[in-house]
């Protein structure tokens, strides 16, 4: 087997609070091969974003965070890297796309300035001319028609869909080996979200980028991911190739997610520990599952 782009092993995370430690991740393991698109799916608060943030090294500086387990990037344990080397990976070999593009792009600078900053991470001292050329190519890759105009604009002057594409272009500008996409497009309307995901999909395929795709939207995951991990309260409860998981979900939580029951029952995050039967009742009533089967 080839070295995975990303390998997370028994990752635990807790936050120290005044009343004790809040355990958020309970030892999750996952891997992503080169060019593979892997989804991490779960309800709000299940631990998806913190996982991506640990990979990027963004939580390690937090005094309250307690992290154990290993994260390997292309065979290197990230903990063994000096802070400067680890920092240098961000925006170059691994990059991230956030949920809300408009608030993630600094409104004080033009898109060109932001773009140049990204390109400089991989190529310090890059000239304005070359940066402009590269930015124009990257924007054209995400189907932006007037790249020159967009480069001289500020994020607040562009539509949400446009900003999302700008962000995808920036995230992929240095041809990273790993893209962490945290609910991309959730802040956009459904049609625009579908279009931008298609664009992203084509680009990562072309460049064989490995992707950790974070989402609670199984419809989107089905379109995009090769393999899925389902996370529930900081534990991976099920994983498998997308088609298998959709055809034959094993864990009750996955089944519940698939039938979108958590939203219909209106109770926020489903809590199997508290009252599994009540939570599963709609599945039994409307989806034809037996309670015994779901609780197996």
Ligand X SMILES: Nc1ncnc2c1ncn2[C@@H]1O[C@H](COP(=O)(O)OP(=O)(O)OP(=O)(O)O)[C@@H](O)[C@H]1O
Q: Which one of 6, 8, 24, 56 is in contact with ligand X (CB under 6 A)?
A: 24
Q: How far apart are CA 4 and CA 176, in angstroms?
A: 14
Residue from 41, 50, 138, 169 that binds ligand X (CB under 6 A)? 50
Q: Which residues contact 12 (CB under 8 A, 6 or more apart)?
A: 23, 25, 26, 27, 66, 67, 68, 69
| 103 counts as binding ligand X under rule CB under 6 A | no
Question: Residue 26 pairs with which residues in a beta bridge?
Answer: 12
Q: What minimum distance in Å lies between the beta carbon of 108 and ligand X?
A: 25
Is-contact 158 139, C-beta < 8 A? no
CA distance 245 to 258: 10
Shortest gap between Cβ of 53 and ligand X (angstroms)? 8
Nearer CB in complex with ligand X: 40/158: 40
- Among the residue ranges 41-49, 161-169, 217-225, 250-258, the one whose residues contact ligand X (CB under 6 A): 41-49
Question: Which part of the chain contacts ligand X (CB under 6 A), choosing from 40-48, 76-84, 100-108, 132-140?
Answer: 40-48
Q: How far is the CB of 26 from ligand X (least distance, A)?
A: 12
- Do 164 and 182 form a contact (C-beta atoms < 8 A)? no
Where does this chain touch ligand X (CB under 6 A) — which range of 43-51, 122-130, 242-250, 262-270? Answer: 43-51
Closer of 48 and 251 to ligand X (Cβ): 48
User: CA-CA distance, 181 to 183, in Å (whole number)?
Assistant: 6
Considering only residues 213 through 252, tell me which ones interact with ligand X, judged by CB under 6 A: 216
48: contact with ligand X by CB under 6 A: yes
CA distance 255 to 270: 12
- Residue 210, helix vs strand vs coil: strand
Nearest to 55 by CA among 227, 215, 181: 181
Smallest gap, in angstroms, from Cβ of residue 16 to ligand X? 9
Edge-first strand listing for the sheet containing 210-215: 94-97, 178-182, 210-215, 37-41, 227-232, 235-241
Output phi, psi for 199, to 5 deg: -60, -45
Which is nearer to ligand X, 24 or 200 (by Cβ)? 24
CA 219 to centroid of chain Cα atoms: 15
Q: Is 193 in the site for ligand X (CB under 6 A)?
A: no
Read off the DSSP letter of residue 78.
Answer: G
* Minimum separation from the CB atom of position 260 to ligand X (A): 15
Give the other-Cβ count within 10 Å of 135's Cβ: 25
Q: How far is the CB of 212 from ligand X (least distance, A)?
A: 12
Q: Does 15 bind ligand X (CB under 6 A)?
A: yes
Q: What mask, x for binding ligand X by CB under 6 A, covers residues 60 to 79?
A: --x-x---------------
44 near ligand X (CB under 6 A): yes
* Interacting residues with ligand X (CB under 6 A): 15, 22, 24, 42, 44-50, 62, 64, 216
């Amino acid at each position: 087997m080839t070295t995975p782009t990303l390998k997370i092993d028994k990752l635990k995370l807790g936050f120290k609070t005044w009343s004790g430690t809040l355990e958020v991740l309970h030892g999750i393991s996952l891997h992503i091969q080169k060019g593979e698109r892997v989804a991490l799916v779960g309800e709000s608060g299940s631990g998806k974003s913190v996982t991506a943030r640990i990979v990027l090294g963004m939580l390690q500086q937090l005094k309250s965070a307690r992290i154990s387990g290993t994260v390997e990037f292309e065979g290197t344990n990230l903990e063994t890297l000096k802070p400067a080397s680890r920092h240098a990976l961000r925006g170059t070999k691994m990059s991230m796309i956030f949920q809300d593009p408009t608030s993630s792009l600094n409104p004080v600078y033009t898109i060109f300035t932001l773009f140049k900053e990204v390109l400089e991470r991989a190529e310090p001292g890059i000239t304005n001319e070359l940066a402009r050329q590269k930015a124009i190519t990257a924007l054209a890759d995400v189907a932006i028609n007037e790249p020159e105009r967009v480069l001289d604009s500020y994020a607040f002057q562009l539509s949400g869909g446009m900003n999302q594409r700008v962000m995808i272009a920036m995230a992929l500008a240095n041809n990273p080996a790993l893209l962490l996409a945290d609910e991309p497009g959730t802040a956009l309307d459904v049609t625009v979200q579908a279009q931008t995901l298609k664009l992203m999909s084509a680009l990562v395929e072309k460049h064989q980028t490995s992707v950790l795709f974070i989402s609670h939207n199984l419809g989107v995951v089905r379109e995009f991911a090769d393999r899925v991990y389902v996370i529930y309260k900081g534990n991976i409860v099920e994983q498998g190739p997308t088609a298998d998981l959709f055809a034959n979900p094993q864990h009750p939580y996955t089944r519940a997610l698939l039938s979108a029951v958590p939203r219909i029952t209106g109770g926020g995050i489903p809590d199997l520990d508290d009252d599994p039967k009540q939570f599963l009742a709609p599945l039994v009533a409307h989806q034809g599952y037996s309670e015994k089967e779901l609780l197996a």
